[in-house]
């Protein structure tokens, strides 16, 4: 298939409520969409980078620049190309996984639409619906947190994830356990906010029977995570540290984690995400699908990925209404704690033109 058209579309999506983590508070989600035309078939990709390099080294302006200057020209120079070739063609360029993932996703979407196959079929989905968890940001007070968690449980979410940071960890977890009981599937996400010196504090989470603690230390501190895993009973899950199947295998071998969060944008795309899944399954390590406040485009692909057999824990594949009053695709609506896996060709969803135009802040067409 030959790449004949590429657009870089910036959009800004207001959030239904502020979302606070250890690295900042968001009130809107600015996103970069990559639209491609491959042999007259349109495909869409979504870049999950943030506006500033606080979650990772990547950020939106840099993603647009590297796509414009290097990635798209390299793909065009390759001539006829399949989605499985994108990673190989872009291998000479270091890093920029989120930009690579967006371009691969768009080409894969077009390729699958042309062949009449869905993302789920291509990735190897074994379920037609997936259980959904929800990520709850840091709140101004414990009562506010309890109200939010109660609302999500009433909506049917089957797992709650609490964002934590030093000073906001044991007390909110204790409060949620006391209010909602031990049967609620509960986990915490530190987003690299702690150091190994905080091991004693993190061990205070052990009595609460958490599913896991996600990325407590810096992303490059694999040995620190291995040490921490021996000092606490709560299972350690890695997120930002996992950038490829190779790093996943290394982390597992070093016993730095017993659970892995797979975010396709963070690892360079859905095909590498599937390889990470396969590595983890081979080692008996459960995985789950993380979220980056995606639109319906990224959500569709994530739900398809989460239907693979190794995804045995509920992911951050929330319904559209968790973050956005209006999505740019048909909304994903929770049904008994589950979301249906799209079955249509490609992503199974497409942007609704009027809704997309409403949130678009700029469009750049890259010359051939």
pLDDT digits (tens, 9 = 90+) for 161-176: 999 999 999 999 999 9
The Cα 229–Cα 247 span in angstroms is 17
The Cα 137–Cα 254 span in angstroms is 31
CB neighbours of 55 closer than 8 A, spacing ≥ 6? 23, 191, 240
pLDDT digits (tens, 9 = 90+) for 50-79: 999 988 999 999 999 999 999 999 999 998
pLDDT of residue 283: 98
Residues in the chain: 368
pLDDT of residue 21: 86
Q: How far is CA 154 from CA 15, 158, 191, in A?
A: 20, 10, 27
The mean pLDDT value of the chain amounts to: 96
pLDDT of residue 25: 83
The secondary structure of 156-217 as a DSSP string is: T-SEEEEE-BTTBSHHHHHHHHHHH-TTSEEEEE-TT---GGGHHHHHTTGGG--S-EE--S
295 neighbors 319 (Cβ within 8 angstroms): no
pLDDT bin (cut points 50, 70, 90) of residue 18 is confident
Closest CA to 265 of 293, 231, 296: 293
CB neighbours of 140 closer than 8 A, spacing ≥ 6? none
pTM of the model: 0.95
pLDDT at 197 over 90: yes
Highest mean pLDDT among 17-26, 267-276, 314-323: 267-276
Number of Cβ within 10 Å of residue 80's Cβ equals 10
The Cα 348–Cα 120 span in angstroms is 9
The Cα 300–Cα 341 span in angstroms is 7
Q: Where are the domains of the chain?
A: 3-116+353-366, 121-340
Average pLDDT value for residue range 120-128: 98
Share of the chain above pLDDT 70, in %: 100
CATH (residue range 3-116+353-366): 3.30.390.10
The secondary structure of 46-93 as a DSSP string is: EE--BSSTTSSS-BHHHHHHHIIIIIHHHHHHT-B--HHHHHHHHTTS
270 neighbors 87 (Cβ within 8 angstroms): no
Number of Cβ within 10 Å of residue 168's Cβ equals 18
Active site residues: 163, 263
Task: Give the CATH fold of the 121-340 domain.
Answer: TIM Barrel (3.20.20)
pLDDT digits (tens, 9 = 90+) for 199-249: 999 999 999 999 999 999 999 999 999 999 999 999 999 999 999 999 999
The secondary structure of 241-257 as a DSSP string is: T--SHHHHHHHHHTTS-
Sheet holding 185-189, edge to edge: 133-136, 159-163, 185-189, 213-214, 236-238, 259-262, 287-289
The secondary structure of 256-305 as a DSSP string is: S-SEEEE-HHHHTSHHHHHHHHHHHHHTT--EEE---S--HHHHHHHHHH
pLDDT of residue 368: 62
pLDDT bin (cut points 50, 70, 90) of residue 145 is very high
pLDDT digits (tens, 9 = 90+) for 270-296: 999 999 999 999 999 999 999 999 999
pLDDT of residue 293: 93
Closest CA to 218 of 199, 191, 248, 178: 191
């Amino acid at each position: 298939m030959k790449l004949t058209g590429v657009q870089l579309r910036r959009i800004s999506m207001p959030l239904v409520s502020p979302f606070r983590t250890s690295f900042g508070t968001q009130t809107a989600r600015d996103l970069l969409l990559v639209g491609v035309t491959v042999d007259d078939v349109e495909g869409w990709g979504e870049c999950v980078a943030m506006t500033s390099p606080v979650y990772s080294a990547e950020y939106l302006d840099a993603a647009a620049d590297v796509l414009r200057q290097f990635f798209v020209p390299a793909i065009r120079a390759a001539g006829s190309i399949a989605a499985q070739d994108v990673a190989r063609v872009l291998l000479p360029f270091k890093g920029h996984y989120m930009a690579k993932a967006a371009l691969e996703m768009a080409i894969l979407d077009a390729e699958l639409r042309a062949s009449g196959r869905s993302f789920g079929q291509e990735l190897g989905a074994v379920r037609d619906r997936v259980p959904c968890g929800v990520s709850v940001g840091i709140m101004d007070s414990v009562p506010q947190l309890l109200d939010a968690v109660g609302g999500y449980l009433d909506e049917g979410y089957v797992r709650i994830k609490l964002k934590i940071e030093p000073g906001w960890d044991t007390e909110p977890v204790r409060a949620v356990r006391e209010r909602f009981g031990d049967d609620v599937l509960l986990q915490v996400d530190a987003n690299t906010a702690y150091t190994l010196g905080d091991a004693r504090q993190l061990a205070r989470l052990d009595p609460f029977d958490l599913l896991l603690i996600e990325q407590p230390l810096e992303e490059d501190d694999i040995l620190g995570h291995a040490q921490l895993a021996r000092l606490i009973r709560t299972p350690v899950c890695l997120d930002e540290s996992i950038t490829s199947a190779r790093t996943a295998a290394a982390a597992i071998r070093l016993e730095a984690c017993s659970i892995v969060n797979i975010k396709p944008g963070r690892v360079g795309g859905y095909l590498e995400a599937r390889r990470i899944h396969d590595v983890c399954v081979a080692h008996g390590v459960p995985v789950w699908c993380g979220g980056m406040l995606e639109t319906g485009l990224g959500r569709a692909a994530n739900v398809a990925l989460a239907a693979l057999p190794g995804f045995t824990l509920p992911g951050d594949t929330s319904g559209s209404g968790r973050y956005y009053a209006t999505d740019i695709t048909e909304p994903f609506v929770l049904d008994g704690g589950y979301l249906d896996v799209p079955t249509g060709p490609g992503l199974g969803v497409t942007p609704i033109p009027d809704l997309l135009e409403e949130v678009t802040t700029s469009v750049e067409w890259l010359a051939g």
